[in-house]
């Protein structure tokens, strides 16, 4: 029963969003031409096919960024809790040093494999 207000709010939001989309498609201008139907790329005319292959390195760098970025998020709770629990500071410090050591091992592994080098 406590979820009913949330469901009502979701229904109202979906209804308003749907009505706005329908009204804009019905009432909006419908002037079609070849130039307006082209994909817009910062004012530069598109060149070539849109289905060209990207190097795997783009995806690898993106995954590595997400991995290290999410792991860096664990530093914030550590910084918040560190002063609060003075009795276990040494334990927290050792745990964080272990965590940073794991990060460094992973980072040096990635460097040794050459995943961050662009040829």
CB-based contacts of 82-87 (< 8 A; 24+ apart in sequence)? none
In a domain, 119, yes or no: no
R_g of the chain, CA atoms, integer Å? 26
In a domain, 22, yes or no: yes
In a domain, 82, yes or no: yes
The DSSP secondary-structure symbol of 26 reads H
The domain that holds 20 is classified in CATH as 1.20.58.1610
- pLDDT tens track for 20-68: 999 999 998 888 888 777 776 666 666 777 677 777 778 888 888 888 8
| Total of domains in the chain | 1
Q: Which domain holds residue 71?
A: 4-113
The DSSP secondary-structure symbol of 54 reads P
- pLDDT tens track for 58-116: 888 888 888 888 888 888 887 777 777 666 677 778 888 898 898 889 889 888 988 77
Q: Is 99 exposed, middle or buried (0-12, 13-18, 19+ CB in 10 A)?
A: middle
- In the structure, what pLDDT confidence band is assigned to residue 15 with cuts at 50, 70 and 90? very high
In a domain, 76, yes or no: yes
In a domain, 13, yes or no: yes
In a domain, 118, yes or no: no
């Amino acid at each position: 029963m406590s979820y009913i207000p949330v469901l009502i709010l979701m229904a109202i939001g979906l209804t308003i969003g749907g009505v706005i989309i329908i009204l804009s498609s019905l009432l909006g201008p419908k002037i079609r031409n070849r130039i307006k139907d082209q994909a817009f790329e910062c004012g530069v005319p598109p060149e070539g096919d849109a289905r060209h292959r990207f190097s795997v390195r783009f995806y690898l760098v993106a995954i590595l960024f997400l991995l290290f970025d999410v792991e860096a998020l664990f530093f914030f709770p550590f910084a918040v809790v560190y002063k609060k629990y003075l009795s276990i500071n040494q334990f927290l410090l050792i745990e964080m040093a272990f965590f940073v050591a794991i990060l460094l091992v992973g980072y040096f592994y990635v460097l040794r494999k050459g995943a961050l080098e662009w040829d």
